[in-house]
Amino acid sequence: MAGPAAAHEDPPTISQAFAGPRPGEAIGIDLLNYQPKPGVHLVAESPVFAHPIRMDDPAAKVDGLGVKAPIPMSAEPGSYPLVIKARGKVVARDTIRVRPPERPSVEVDDGRARRPGTRVNLFFDDLYPGENGDSFTARSPAFASPVRLTRGKDSWNNTRVFSALNVPLPFTLHDGTYAIWVTDGDGRRKARTRLEVRSARPGDDDYLGNAEGPAFFGKTGSPLRAQDKGFTAAAGTTMYVKWQDASPDPGEEERLTATSPAFQAPARLASDVIKGHEMDPPLFWGPARIKPGLKPGRYPVTVVSHRGRVTKNSYLTVTQGSAHDDGGLPTAVWAGASAGTLALGATAAVLLVRRRRRAPLS
């Protein structure tokens, strides 16, 4: 067994992950600054545990947090001593503080106001004596339909958490406070909360944003080299439209398009999420097919954003059509000119295939 710590060394210390548990939850226990000799087993003991816990039990290990120590549902709130022993000798002490039980509750993300058209995450916690249901549904006038809640598979410290992620709020939702309630499989209401919905207003960053574009690039270009002036494309070919906005309207990544009398159909501008992770303003781009046989000339391309509050135009020049255009993706996407362009490779491919099916080459 390891000897006592020297005067200049840190003493053995117990760490608790998810400290302050409620009855029925679990904490993670680890012992720091102590290395037992081979064959010496460490055991955690506390009056609140149903039984002593082996610190080297592989079935109880939780990654980086020591071992799982369940707190019985029958535990009374209060403070309980915790010791870790090696061959019956105490090597470290701590205290487990058990909080009172809490009635079932539902939360929406961090509780802040949300914009119409965004998505929210719901979390329902029914860790409470006597609660044992496994089918729950969230309802609200703010939702287009009832939302099924599913049990979290990765939550080892609280197995009574049910959630629904990325629940859409309708784009047309009016400002206001909306009730959200959770019912069980028999329709009984188990918990209730409120969601505040608030559209952007003058002075908010996302009211008008800070947009650049639309800009254009061809098959040999990339979003990073797009140009908003002097761009030329042949009738019947595919080009690409780029839009960038430091403060896009929430939910805009699912509905942003570029339109033009030169396009066969509106160009869906998909969000390049990887490029956004590089700390640049959020970037959107997508393919647009020029109408075959279109009369040469100068045509406007329009992007309307921020719920119609922002409209920007750029112009492209259309020349006589080429004999053949195989569509495809910009060369930079295949070459990996940037992480951002790679992010949209699959999306752009799907969009191109759809457009080519709707509009055969001339």
Asked if 271 contacts 285 with a C-beta cutoff of 8 angstroms, the reply is: no
Mean pLDDT on 298-309 = 95
- Whether residue 231 is found in the same domain as residue 337: yes
Across 207-223, b (16+ Cβ under 10 Å) vs e yields bbbebbbbbbbbbebbb
Out of 86-95, 139-148, 206-215, 274-283, which region has the weakest mean confidence (pLDDT)? Answer: 274-283
Across 154-168, b (16+ Cβ under 10 Å) vs e yields eebbeebbbbbeebb
294 inside domain: yes
Determine the pLDDT at residue 64: 84
- Whether residue 210 is found in the same domain as residue 273: yes
4 inside domain: no
User: Could you say which of 52, 68, 98 is where a domain stops?
Assistant: 98
pLDDT digits (tens, 9 = 90+) for 223-235: 888 999 999 999 9
2 inside domain: no
- Whether residue 45 is found in the same domain as residue 156: no
- Sheet strands side by side (includes 78-86): 53-54, 42-45, 78-86, 89-98
8 inside domain: no
DSSP codes of every residue in 170-184: PTTPPSEEEEEEEEE
- Whether residue 184 is found in the same domain as residue 227: no
Number of folded domains that form the chain: 3
41 inside domain: yes
User: Could you say which of 63, 79, 98 is where a domain stops?
Assistant: 98
- Smallest CA-to-CA distance from 284 within 344, 251, 243, 319 is with 243
Assess whether pLDDT exceeds 70 at residue 137: yes
- Whether residue 274 is found in the same domain as residue 173: no
**d(Cα 192, Cα 130) in Å, to the nearest integer?**
19
Question: What residue numbers bound the domain in which 177 lies?
Answer: 105-197
User: Which H helix or E strand runs over 94?
Assistant: strand 89-98
Mean pLDDT on 194-213 = 92
pTM attached to this predicted model:
0.75
5 inside domain: no
Mean pLDDT on 308-335 = 74
- Whether residue 316 is found in the same domain as residue 213: yes
Assess whether pLDDT exceeds 70 at residue 347: no
Peptide bond into 214 cis (omega under 30): yes
CATH number at residue 190: 2.60.40.1930
Q: Which residue has the higher pLDDT, 249 or 330?
A: 249
6 inside domain: no
Out of 13-27, 190-204, 268-282, which region has the weakest mean confidence (pLDDT)? Answer: 268-282
CATH number at residue 19: 2.60.40
- Whether residue 247 is found in the same domain as residue 281: yes
pLDDT digits (tens, 9 = 90+) for 252-267: 878 899 999 999 999 9
Report how far apart, in Å, the C-alpha atoms of 108 and of each of 36, 111, 147, 179, 357 are: 45, 6, 13, 11, 41
- Whether residue 213 is found in the same domain as residue 351: yes
- Whether residue 36 is found in the same domain as residue 157: no
**β-strands 66-70, 78-86 pairing:** unpaired
pLDDT digits (tens, 9 = 90+) for 99-131: 999 999 999 987 889 999 899 999 999 999 999
- Whether residue 236 is found in the same domain as residue 345: yes
1 inside domain: no
Cα 159 → chain centroid:
21
pLDDT digits (tens, 9 = 90+) for 147-189: 999 998 888 999 999 999 999 999 889 999 999 999 999 999 9
User: Could you say which of 136, 164, 197 is where a domain stops?
Assistant: 197
**d(Cα 228, Cα 234) in Å, to the nearest integer?**
17
